[in-house]
Amino acid sequence: MIGRLNHVAIAVPDLGAATAIYRDRLGATVSAPLDLPEHGVTTVFVELPNTKIELITPLGDASPIASFLARSPEGGVHHLCFEVADIDAAAERMKADGARVLGDGRPRIGAHGKPVLFLHPKDFAGTLVELEEA
């Protein structure tokens, strides 16, 4: 069902400092920041030859990333994103298999302008999983 690894998301307390690490120290190409109010984050993408790293920071006090950073103030890996061919079919399969789809269970538009959904970490060996329609 899952396709390629689209990105690894890292929650960071300071997006500018984290961007500088990847851009200036490692020489990576980093996108401009993008606010995603529906998801409560500001994000940038670090482009790699075979995948991306998404750096995410809270956008507002109600951001789910704020609570993550409260537990891990220096940041850390937040989720893995895998591509799927059909997000609605993937959601139905996950529900039928007993996996919990977070939120209202319906896909929302993500940072790449494509439908995404998140799966509960307790159903995936402690890892928050994002599925994105390819």
Retrieve residue 32's tokens.
């401009």
Distance CA 90, CA 58 (A): 28
Catalytic one of 38, 47, 83, 130: 130
132 in active site: no
Which DSSP string corresponds to 24-68?
A: IIT--EEPPPEEETTTTEEEEEEE-SS-EEEEEEESSTT-HHHHH
Find the largest Cα–Cα distance for the chain.
46
Which DSSP string corresponds to 67-109?
A: HHHHHSTT-EEEEEEEEES-HHHHHHHHHHTTPPBPTTSS-EE
Q: Measuring CA to CA, which residue among 108, 32, 94 is closest to residue 64?
A: 108
Residues that are catalytic: 130
